[in-house]
A and B are shown apart, each in its own frame.
Chain A
Amino acid sequence: MVTAAIQTPEAPRVTGASLDIEDVSHGFELDGSVLEVLDDVSLHVAPGEFVALLGPSGCGKSTLLRLIAGLEPPTRGKLSEAGRPIAGPNPSRVVVFQDPTLFPWRTVRRNVAVGPEAQGTLKQSQQRIDEALALVGLTKFAKAYPHQLSGGMAQRVALARALVNDPDVLILDEPLGKLDSLTRITMQAELVSLWRREGFTAILVTHDVEEALFLANRVVVFSDRPARVKADIPVDLPYPRHRGDPRLAELRRQVLGLLGLDADW
């Protein structure tokens, strides 16, 4: 299996890792009964692919991401990254959550440094930390504290904190969900160019159909809870994409239909 290109220590990875989700079901114990959240979900993501997950709110998308991150084991089924079973969290798979969840007692730079610090590689990583800050355009705010940042800036810091680990898989759980629409459009473009440059595998949950179609190679649509895969739609359009592209509008209609919104608009 061809997964990651052979790495040299300095050169950034060119290819992300593959993800295999096989027959995964998951439930939560709630007041003695079990709440089924994922129902027999199978999904295969190729190295370097950008997959967007869409589905009704509360159907289990975030839960699936937590399983991929290794934060919880699934009730049934198997998850693996690059052919190796996922047994726990690993900095090769980093999550950017809807809330930036920065540590308020750390400066921006020290927030970005959390990964290397936790992994014991802080000394070697100084330059990478600065690069990650530069990548999201926050070099000037290195010494600021989180409460001094706007929502968009905080989310950028969260992105830098993830990217500094040079992840094989970037897991994005509605990362732009709380931003105003202008910041959001800017950050969507930034995300695409980051992904194209760094080559990681990206898996994005969003509630915004346009965002999914603008960013992803593939859009996976889930059913109501318990979530099962309802449709898996390839988006074969070259990057950079244009929001006005008629083919995007056509796909948008198709996806909205799958989500139960058969509007003519």
Chain B
Amino acid sequence: MTMSDIPSPSQGHASAPHLTLADVVPAVPRPLVDVVGLVAGIAWLAVVAAALALEDVGDWPRTPTFAAAAGLVAATFIVLAIGSRWLGAASRWLDRAALWLIVLGLFFTLWQLASAKLGWLPLPFFPPPQALLEVYLDDFPRLGVSILASVKLQLWGYSIGAVAGFLTGVSIGWSQRAAYWVHPVLRFIGPLPAGAWLPIAFFAFPSSWSAGIFLIALATGFPVTVLTWSGILSVNPAYYDVARTLGARSRFLVLKVAIPAALPHVFVGLFMALGTSFSVLVVAELLGVKAGLGFYMQAAQGWGDYANLYAALLVLALLCSGAVSLLFAARDRFLSWQKDLVTW
């Protein structure tokens, strides 16, 4: 299409005096080719080229696999970019993510060259991407067992801590007597970092697994308790007046007024607890629990298998991010009545 094909506004609408916004600003048709997406594809072709063009400076049997995988990624981007008119949602995703994908492609190219091909990065501390791929493909059984162990420990510890913290928070927020007994304990023990319990936990509990659950639950319980408690205390007292004049008794006041009103606070506590509980999980696995990603990383470092270390770290990052996403999804469900929610 050349410039002369485009009707100028004055020509095109000469006979149509009543212009609407849609006439003045015509819907831009999707371009034939998503150019930025195409560049992303080319960036990933550069990854392939970097992996295949030069000799490896070390022994990495998965270099061809890595090149093939990068080639597949590049091909996918190119197809999506060229077919952007027909491929709907996937192409729109490419369009949005394209700049990031270009940067990632360049990053992988550089990483490939700097580690595997030119040896700029010191080995074995900075292995090339194909070494990580090798871990995922060839050490998957061991890594998978570690992932499962970590997820299980985290789930148990976090759930127990969250439930216990929520119940404690509601009780001390609601009952003066509960507050009298629990508050001093909470003030004294709560701020102690859960890691400080580590040495005691490992001999006081029958297994390092139960000790790990205890530590994670402790790290989760404190913020959840405090935030739930403050949530209950900050409930607008007018809500209780309204409910009481409408015939509500204490059961209704707790379950249907205090708790729903405190829920936004509770979620803040749950988010804070998620962060601290992850750090306790990793510390517990690095220092005592004989399973899980922390343990795997510890062992990898001991053997000098740095690729395994990075591979496990990457998985851990994905798990943590996934957990936060899940919590956000739960919050969006429970607090859908709030306006202006932060999106994740």
Chain A residues within CB distance 8 Å of chain B: 66, 69-71, 89-91, 93-95, 97, 99, 101, 103-106, 114-115, 117-119, 145-147, 161, 165
Contact = CB atoms under 8 A, between A and B. Distances in A.
Contacts of B257: 103
A143 B263 CA distance: 21
Nearest to B241: A71
A95 B241 contact: yes
B244 A105 contact: no
B261 interface: yes
Which residue, B239, B246, B261, B338, has most C-beta atoms of chain A within 10 A?
B246
Given A145-B337, A147-B339, A101 B242 contact: yes
Q: For chain B, give the interface size range.
A: 20 to 34
Given A93-B245, A95-B245, A114-B243, 5 more contacts: A91-B246, A91-B247, A101-B236, A103-B260, A118-B256
A99 B242 CA distance: 11
A101 to B, nearest CB: 5
Contacts of B247: 89-91, 115, 118-119, 165
A105 B246 contact: no
Nearest to A99: B238
A104 B238 CA distance: 13
Contact of B249 (A94, A104, A105, A118): A118
Contacts of A91: 245-247
A115 to B, nearest CB: 4
A105 B245 contact: no
A114 B243 CA distance: 7
Nearest to B236: A101
B238 A97 contact: yes
A106 B339 CA distance: 13
Contacts of A71: 241, 244-245
B140 interface: no
Given A71-B241, A114-B243, A118-B243, A105 B248 contact: no
A188 B241 CA distance: 24
B332 to A, nearest CB: 14
Contacts of A115: 246-247
B264 to A, nearest CB: 9
A81 B337 CA distance: 38
Contacts of A119: 246-247
B197 interface: no
Interface string B228-272: 000000001011011111111100100011001101000000000
Interface in B287-344: 335, 337-339
Contacts of A104: 337-338
B3 to A, nearest CB: 48
A105 B263 contact: yes
Contact of A114 (B236, B246, B261, B335): B246
A115 B256 CA distance: 12
A81 to B, nearest CB: 13
A147 B339 CA distance: 7
A66 B11 CA distance: 73
B238 A101 contact: yes
A105 B238 contact: no
17 contacts: A66-B241, A70-B245, A71-B245, A89-B245, A91-B245, A91-B246, A91-B247, A95-B242, A95-B245, A97-B238, A99-B238, A103-B239, A103-B261, A105-B260, A115-B247, A118-B256, A119-B246
A127 B65 CA distance: 68
Which are the 3 A-B pairs with shortest beta-carbon distances? A118-B248, A115-B246, A91-B247
A200 to B, nearest CB: 14
A155 to B, nearest CB: 13
A106 B260 CA distance: 9
Most A CB within 10 A of own CB, among B263, B335, B337: B337
Nearest to A158: B242
Nearest to B259: A105
A90 B247 CA distance: 6
A135 to B, nearest CB: 17
Contacts of B256: 117-118
A98 to B, nearest CB: 10
B245 A69 contact: yes
Contacts of B261: 103, 105
A69 B241 CA distance: 10
A203 to B, nearest CB: 13
Nearest to B335: A105
Contacts of B339: 147
B231 to A, nearest CB: 13
A97 B246 contact: no
Contact of B244 (A89, A103, A147, A161): A89
Contacts of B236: 101
A69 B238 CA distance: 13
Contacts of B238: 97, 99, 101
